[in-house]
Chain A
Amino acid sequence: MSGAKIPINLIRGSDNERCGGIAMVFNIDHIRELRNLGFAGILAGTLPSAAQQNAFLSVPLRLMAEEALWLVENGRAFFIAGSEVVIAAIQTLSLQEMKLAERKLDNFFAEQRAFKQVRHQEKLQQLGLSSEMSRTSESLLESSLFVETPNSSDLIARRVKANQFDCPEIQRALCGQLRRNCKNPGDYYVYKALKCDGYYLSPGARFGGRFIAYPGDPLRYHSHMTVQPALNYQNDPLDLLQVVSGGRLGTGVKKLWVVAGVRAQVEAATEEAVSFFSIEWAGFG
């Protein structure tokens, strides 16, 4: 699996046209691969009828725009965009394939039924009761059948020629679209620079920042830094009140409050063009 590019779906929100899309990864193997590459992302899947707490969310994995851009630019992934592709693929499904899928589901149920019946018999024998199947237990069995909702559809995945997106022009266009929609274009350079230094990054709104940086996998380490949205640091002002509250907040949660500055000529910005300044509140008991 590794080596192959990971498809990242750009899901468009319903709210506006401008939105370049939200980067989502649906396949669990791909998510594992991303984790090994140093991308934790955020699991976002839940059921509308039974909303889950953060700790119990499931696939898809939502990536920050910066993460997705980095992956694509470094040739580790490619974007797939547009619901049209999926709809088109659904329309090409033949009746035969639908029947096949249905039969597969029926087989799955039959297997379950057989398994459960055997278990039921065994249990009755253990208890020394007559091994006759009553009507109620049959309906109970029927309602306990397990329906698996797959994270991604095999049927459609085979149809969509995902690779058709994997050509430089389309990818460049999609990158550009995503980047335009970033609120603060400098953030990507900051992200790149930190990524280069081996940090794992997550969205930092919880700690009052753009990113929070972990020295390793977030499951193993506490984060060390809260990184502020990138400033054009030769021109942008930095409010003193912001420095005070940032310093206090950082010290309060035992993190370094980091201001990242990108130099003016963003077009040509590379890793060297990003500077970091850290602020600590001294003299706390």
Chain B
Amino acid sequence: MPKYIPNAKQYKHPLPIHPLDNLPPLISHNPLSWVYWLYKYLSSTNQLAVNIHVELSSGKHITVADPNEMLYLWRNGFFGTAQLSRSEPTWRQRTLARLGEEDSPQALEHVTQQRRLQRLEFKRQRASFEETKLSLRRQGVDESEILQQERDFLKSLRDREIQLQGQNAVSLRDSDIELFDNEDKLKELEVLELMPVEAVFLTFALPVLDMPIASLLASLCGSRPTYDEIHELCIKYAAYHHYRSHGWCVRSGIKFGCHYLLYKRGPPFHHAEYGVMVLNSEDSMDYTFYSSIARVLGGAKKSFILCYVELCESQDTVLRHWNAGRFDRVFGSYKVGEIMYRRWVPGKNRD
């Protein structure tokens, strides 16, 4: 069993680029240490040794395949979504654990599944007990007797639960053999997919991916795009960059029917606090649009942020900058403003 690493240590850095953290100690009465420190300071860089390799397929599908790089992107800012897992690339580990090859701590997906099964089983048991209770009542059995039976029943459920926690069955399927290559090693099937805005952020704002920004944007929007073709990406990116640069961890909000979810530090630490919908500054939607999103987010205890992105330059100017490769000017010509929408129920929002 690997040693437990606290989240705060494992996810120490909010972005893939770190501050210089390999500087030697500076000893104030030893001038030699100053020189050495200065030398180390000037010679070291926080650029990645090797930029992360990304694959582009069918233009807009951006993936990272190397397991270490996947993990690196996840651990440093929670970028991307692993395609066979919930978010974090855990497929390999889960599969090995399932096949009994590796003694691993339980992945989140596994925990959820077990909880659901437990809950289902509990509901079934409870329903059957309710029936017996009803029949006992009909027979006129004493109420304290029924209460005693109920207590016994709940205790038996609890005992069984404790028993089950110890077990961890290995299950093999016939098709599992195909998961292994010729050298009997598990194939790396899982890749990490990046949202287009994440890929742009990791090339344009931070030098992390091994791809020039111009070619990435060309493959996302076409080589000589019209303004309408770049508009969607531009406003999404302006919003994404805005929140990332204010220190939020921004992830896709598709699960909750909005564009982004904002985490204070990241998914392992807290639930997302906000759901963001990116809109044009002049957008005006049907009331049902706002109310349905706000209700879904409200049900998950999140606040709904309407993020309005306004273009401050003319479209032609933006397009000219785009074609000249001045993407800083392109993304800089947008202004971001927010409105928070919350459903307020007097009876439920007293504290």
Pick from A209, A240, A252: contact of B288, CB under 8 Å? A209
Which residues in A have their C-beta under 8 angstroms from that of B293? 208, 245
Is the CB of B271 closer than 8 A to any CB of chain A?
A: no
Instruction: Tell me whether A246 and B119 are in contact (CB under 8 A).
Output: no
Q: Provided the pairs A245-B258, A245-B293, A248-B256 are in contact, do residues A285 and B116 lie with their beta carbons within 8 angstroms?
A: yes
Contact with B along A243-276 (1 / 0, CB 8 A): 0111011001000000000000000000000000
Question: In whole angstroms, what is the CA distance A210 to B286 when docked?
Answer: 10
B292 and A229 contact, CB distance less than 8 A: no
Residues of B within 8 Å of A228, CB to CB, are: 288
- Let me know if A167 is at the binding interface, CB within 8 A: no
Residues of A near B286 (CB, < 8 A) are 229
Q: B268 contacts the other chain (Cβ, under 8 Å)?
A: no
Q: Is the pair B295, A244 in contact by a Cβ cutoff of 8 Å?
A: no
Q: Are A249 and B292 in contact (CB under 8 A)?
A: yes
Q: Is B106 part of the binding interface, using a Cβ–Cβ cutoff of 8 Å?
A: no
- Does B95 reach chain A (CB closer than 8 Å)? no
CB-CB under 8 A for A208 and B295, given A229-B286, A229-B288: yes
- Asked if B254 contacts A208 (CB within 8 A), the reply is no
Q: State A248–B120 Cα separation when bound (angstroms).
A: 20
Instruction: Tell me which residues from 224 to 259 in chain B have a Cβ below 8 Å from any Cβ of chain A.
Output: 254-259
Question: What are the residues of chain A within 8 A of B257 when measuring CB–CB?
Answer: 241-242, 244-246, 248
For chain B residues 250-289, which have a beta carbon within 8 Å of chain A?
254-259, 286-289
- Given A229-B286, A252-B299, answer yes or no on A205-B259 (Cβ-Cβ < 8 Å): no
**Which B residues lie within 8 Å of A252 (CB)?**
295-296, 299
Which residues, 182 to 238 on A, are CB-close (under 8 Å) to B? 204-210, 228-229
List residues of chain B with CB within 8 A of the CB of A249.
Answer: 292, 295-296, 299
Residues in B neighbouring A285, C-beta threshold 8 A? 115-116, 119-120
A241 touches B259 (CB 8 A): yes
Q: Which residue of A lies closest to B294 (CB)?
A: A208
**Most-contacted residue by chain B among A210, A229, A246, A248 (CB, 10 A):** A248
- Of the candidates B120, B255, B292, the one whose C-beta lies within 8 Å of that of A246 is B292
Least Cβ distance of B76 to chain A in Å? 28
For chain A, residues 151 to 209, give those with C-beta under 8 angstroms from any C-beta of chain B.
Answer: 204-209
Chain B residues closer than 8 Å to A206, beta-carbon distance: 291
Complex: how many Å from CA A205 to CA B256? 19
Closest A residue to B120 by beta carbon equals A285
Task: Determine whether the beta carbon of B256 is less than 8 Å from that of A245.
Answer: yes
- CB neighbours (8 Å) of B291 from chain A are 205-206, 208
Considering the complex, give the chain A residue whose CB is closest to the CB of B116. A285
A285 to B118, CA, bound (A): 10
Q: Which of B116, B120, B293 has the most CB of A within 10 A?
A: B293
Residues of B within 8 A of A205 (CB): 287-288, 291
Which B residue sits closest to A285, measured CB to CB?
B116
Contact of A241 among B120, B258, B288, B295 (CB under 8 A): B258
A265 to chain B, nearest CB (A): 24
Report whether B116 and A244 are in contact in the complex, using a CB–CB cutoff of 8 Å.
no
| Chain A window 33-67, contacts with chain B (Cβ cutoff 8 Å), 1 for yes, 0 for no | 00000000000000000000000000000000000
- With contacts A285-B115, A285-B116, A285-B119 taken as known, whether A245 is within 8 angstroms of B288 at the C-beta atoms is no
Nearest A residue to B288, CB-CB: A208
CA distance A52 to B286 in the complex (A): 27
Minimum C-beta distance from B240 to chain A (A) = 16
Q: Given the complex of chains A and B, what is the CA–CA distance between A241 and B255 in angstroms?
A: 9
Contact A210 B254 (CB under 8 A): no
B27 to chain A, nearest CB (A): 57
Inter-chain contacts of A246 with B (CB < 8 A): 257, 292
A229 to B288: give the CA distance in the assembly, Å.
9
Q: Which of B100-125 contact A (CB under 8 A)?
A: 115-116, 119-120
A252–B119 CA distance with the chains assembled, in angstroms: 18
CB contact under 8 A between A244 and B119, given known A229-B286, A249-B296: no
Q: Which of B68-87 contact A (CB under 8 A)?
A: none
Known A-B contacts A249-B296, A252-B299; A244 and B288 likewise in contact (beta carbons under 8 Å): no
* Residues from chain A with Cβ under 8 Å of B258 in the complex: 241, 245
Closest approach, in angstroms, between the C-beta of B103 and any C-beta of chain A? 27
Which of chain B's residues has its CB closest to A243's CB?
B257
Q: Please give, as numbers and ranges, the residues of chain B lying within 8 Å of A210 by CB-CB distance.
A: 288
Measured CA separation A241–B277 after assembly (Å): 10
Q: Closest CB of chain B to A184's CB: distance in Å?
A: 9
Q: Is B296 touching A245 in the complex (CB atoms < 8 A)?
A: yes
Residues in A with CB closer than 8 Å to B119 are 285
Chain A residues near B115 (CB-CB < 8 A): 285
Contacts of A244 on B, CB cut-off 8 Å?
Answer: 254-257
Question: How many angstroms between the C-alpha atoms of A209 and B287 in the bound complex?
Answer: 9
CA distance A222 to B257 in the complex (A): 25
Given contacts A207-B295, A246-B292, 15 further A-B contacts (CB under 8 A): A204-B288, A205-B287, A205-B291, A207-B292, A208-B291, A208-B295, A210-B288, A241-B257, A244-B254, A245-B257, A245-B258, A245-B292, A246-B257, A252-B296, A252-B299
Q: What 8 A-B pairs have minimum CB-CB distances, sorted nearest first?
A: A245-B257, A208-B292, A244-B257, A285-B116, A245-B296, A248-B296, A241-B257, A208-B288
- Mark A residues whose CB is within 8 Å of B: 204-210, 228-229, 240-242, 244-246, 248-249, 252, 285
B residues near A, CB below 8 A? 115-116, 119-120, 254-259, 286-289, 291-293, 295-296, 299
| Residue contacts A-B, CB under 8 angstroms, 11 given | A205-B288, A207-B295, A208-B295, A241-B254, A241-B259, A242-B257, A244-B254, A245-B257, A245-B296, A248-B296, A285-B116
